[in-house]
């Protein structure tokens, strides 16, 4: 697997849980959001300062964006990031878009995550 380039997004993020029918649109402004509706809940990932009132909020996440785009047939992209983080005992919240992947780590684990990713040969823009 080639070395990847990951960028650390500027702001702390929140992972929020809301009822399945919660009204969260339009999404608050910011560089990255994730909205997932499932039968049992709605999950919103957004900049911490934009977390909706009344949500169950898990705070202080930092978000890495994989800068390269790969065809869906390329295997192991996300695993090349998650493996080193798991070996460093860093918990994650990961998601994918059509074009790339995002990996969130707790702010308290950020230095350990950066060290693990660099040791795995990835380039980071912090």
Give the tens place of pLDDT for each residue, 1-12: 679 999 999 999
CA–CA separation, 2 vs 110, rounded Å? 23
pLDDT score for 39: 97
Q: Are 62 and 9 in contact (CB under 8 A)?
A: yes
Give the tens place of pLDDT for each residue, 23-63: 887 776 778 999 999 999 999 999 999 999 999 999 999 99
Cα–Cα distance list, 112 to 14, 35, 59, 105, 106 (Å) = 20, 28, 18, 10, 10
Q: What is the pTM of this model?
A: 0.93
The domain tally of the chain equals 1
Residues whose CB falls within 8 Å of the CB of residue 111, separated by 6 or more in sequence, listed in order: none
Segments forming the whole domain that contains residue 11: 5-125
Residues whose CB falls within 8 Å of the CB of residue 70, separated by 6 or more in sequence, listed in order: 77
């Amino acid at each position: 697997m080639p070395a990847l380039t990951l960028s650390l997004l500027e702001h702390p993020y929140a992972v929020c849980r809301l009822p399945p029918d919660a009204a969260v649109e339009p999404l608050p402004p910011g560089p990255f959001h994730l909205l997932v509706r499932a039968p049992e809940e709605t999950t919103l990932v957004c900049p911490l300062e934009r977390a909706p009132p009344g949500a169950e909020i898990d705070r202080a996440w930092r978000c890495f964006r994989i800068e390269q785009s790969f065809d869906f047939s390329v295997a192991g992209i996300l695993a090349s990031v998650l493996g080193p983080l798991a070996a460093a005992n860093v918990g994650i919240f990961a998601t994918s878009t059509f074009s790339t992947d995002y990996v969130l780590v707790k702010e308290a684990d950020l230095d350990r995550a950066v060290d693990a990713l660099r040791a795995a040969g990835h380039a980071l823009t912090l």
